């Protein structure tokens, strides 16, 4: 075969392979976009575990009607403009890939209105074929609808699991987000029923309230508050007492600059910090936020951004280890400690 340039739709479908694994990945990308747009309230409606429908409405800044076609074009983003921006990126998105990828493997609609626009507008994309922008009523903010995910990619569709399983992935991802954004109100409806409602945490309220909503009081009754800063690094959050250890690593939430990540350097540091207070085979529960200058961490490692690369991994490792080791000192001495509110 001769070498040829692939058509845009196919390029987007190939990219979708990396970004869109299942309904939960769509929810993640759309919710992150809403947060990047400054939303304080999100309504998520699902049908059939998100396979039939994912609809997310936000009260963020919206998209100007003239920019709707750009929003669904590949490599088009309002979040970075230069390499320097990329190196200190503070938004959750920046690759300009999510909407075109999702829209290439679903029946997709984007409806939006900016606060200063008189009318809203709607743009549909069907399996990557982009329609016309038409006027459409909408409050300030954005709604994205994704129907029949992978309807045109049977090989992918076959990998989707039962409704319950896909819903479980969405709920778990939303839990991890709810922990990181306590001031954002989140509603999750499934097949017309309200499943979860995370109420917004008011200024000055106890941040542990959201943790209790997300993880239950079994966790909040048996955790220690951590907050330590050194060498331009800050680690804060809550770590479970050894008595709250679990048989699986299912309550481990780690965020770097507000982004949930899996990181081996950090996982190792946490494991070491707990080494002498946990029995073999037990796993700690924790919700930890690491903050550092965005220039000291590369978030552009994977399209879905589940991983990061620290410029100084050893420093981060030792900081996390020391902070937690110190926090757990009293439990090591056998003293009883409880979380301070």
Rounded Cα distance, 101 and 108, in Å: 11
Tell me if 106 contacts ligand ADP by CB under 6 A. no
Choose among Mg ion, ligand ADP, none what residue 50 binds, the Cβ cut-off being 5 to 8 Å by kind: none
Tell me if 120 contacts ligand ADP by CB under 6 A. no
Strands 53-58 and 134-135: unpaired
CB of 67 to ligand ADP, least distance (A): 7
CB of 165 to ligand ADP, least distance (A): 25
Nearer to ligand ADP, 93 or 182 (CB): 93
Burial of 249 (0-12, 13-18, 19+ CB in 10 A): middle
Residues forming the site for Mg ion (CB under 5 A): 33, 93, 98
Strands 185-190 and 41-47: parallel
289 token code pair: 């936020």
Q: Which residue is nearest to Mg ion (CB)?
A: 93
Please give the full DSSP string across 171-233, using - where no structure is assigned. HHHHHHHHHH-TTSEEEEEETTEEEEEEPPPPTTS-THHHHHHHH-HHHHTTEEEEEEEETTE
Rounded Cα distance, 125 and 152, in Å: 13
x/- letters, 171..210, toward ligand ADP (CB under 6 A): ----------------------------------------
CB of 154 to ligand ADP, least distance (A): 25
CB of 205 to Mg ion, least distance (A): 29
Report the residue from 49, 61, 237, 284 that binds ligand ADP according to the rule CB under 6 A.
61
285 token code pair: 């529960």
Nearer to ligand ADP, 8 or 318 (CB): 8
Report the residue from 9, 20, 51, 71 that binds ligand ADP according to the rule CB under 6 A.
71
Q: What are phi and psi of 157, to 5 degrees?
A: -60, -35
Please give the full DSSP string across 224-273, using - where no structure is assigned. EEEEEEETTEEEEEEEE-GGG-BSSS-SEEEEETTEE---HHHHHHHHHH
Choose among Mg ion, ligand ADP, none what residue 226 binds, the Cβ cut-off being 5 to 8 Å by kind: none
Tell me if 226 contacts ligand ADP by CB under 6 A. no
Residues 339, 289 contacting (CB under 8 angstroms): no
117 token code pair: 């626009």
Residues 137-156 close enough to bind ligand ADP by CB under 6 A: 142
CB of 35 to ligand ADP, least distance (A): 9
Stretch that binds ligand ADP, among 59-67, 227-235, 289-297, 314-322 (CB under 6 A): 59-67
x/- letters, 23..52, toward ligand ADP (CB under 6 A): ------x---xx--x---------------
Residue found under tokens 């769509």 = 26
CB of 78 to ligand ADP, least distance (A): 3
Q: Which residues of the shown chain bind ligand ADP in the complex (CB under 6 A)?
A: 29, 33-34, 37, 58, 60-63, 71, 77-79, 93-99, 142
């Amino acid at each position: 075969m001769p070498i040829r340039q692939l058509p845009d739709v196919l390029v987007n479908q190939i990219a979708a392979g990396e970004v869109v694994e299942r309904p939960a990945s769509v929810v993640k990308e759309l919710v992150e976009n809403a947060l990047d747009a400054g939303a304080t309230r999100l309504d998520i409606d699902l049908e059939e575990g998100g396979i039939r429908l994912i609809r997310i409405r936000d009260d963020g800044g919206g998209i100007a009607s003239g920019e709707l076609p750009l929003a669904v074009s590949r490599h088009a983003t309002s979040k970075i403009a230069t390499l320097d921006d990329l190196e200190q990126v503070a938004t959750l998105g920046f690759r300009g890939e999510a909407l075109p990828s999702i829209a290439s493997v679903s029946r997709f609609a984007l409806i939006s209105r900016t606060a200063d626009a008189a009318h809203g507008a709607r743009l549909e994309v069907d399996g990557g074929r982009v329609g016309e922008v038409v006027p459409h009523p909408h409050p300030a903010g954005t709604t994205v609808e994704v129907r029949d995910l992978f309807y045109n990619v049977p090989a992918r569709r076959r990998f989707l699991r039962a409704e319950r399983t896909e819903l479980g992935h969405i709920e778990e991802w939303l839990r991890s987000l709810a922990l990181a954004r306590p001031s954002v109100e989140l509603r999750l409806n499934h097949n017309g029923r309200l499943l979860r409602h995370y109420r917004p945490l008011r200024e000055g309220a106890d941040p542990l309230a959201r943790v209790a909503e997300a993880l239950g009081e079994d966790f909040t009754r048996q955790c220690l508050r951590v907050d330590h800063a050194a060498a331009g690094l800050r680690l804060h959050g809550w770590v479970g007492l050894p008595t709250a250890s679990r048989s699986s690593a299912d309550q481990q939430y780690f965020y770097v600059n507000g982004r949930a990540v899996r990181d081996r350097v950090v996982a190792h540091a946490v494991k070491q910090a707990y080494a002498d207070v946990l029995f073999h085979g037990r796993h700690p529960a924790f919700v930890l936020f690491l903050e550092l200058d965005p220039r000291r961490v590369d978030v552009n490692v994977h399209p879905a951004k589940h991983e990061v690369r620290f410029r100084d991994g050893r420093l981060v490792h030792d900081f996390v280890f020391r902070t937690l080791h110190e926090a757990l000192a009293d439990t090591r001495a056998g003293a009883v400690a409880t979380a301070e509110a």
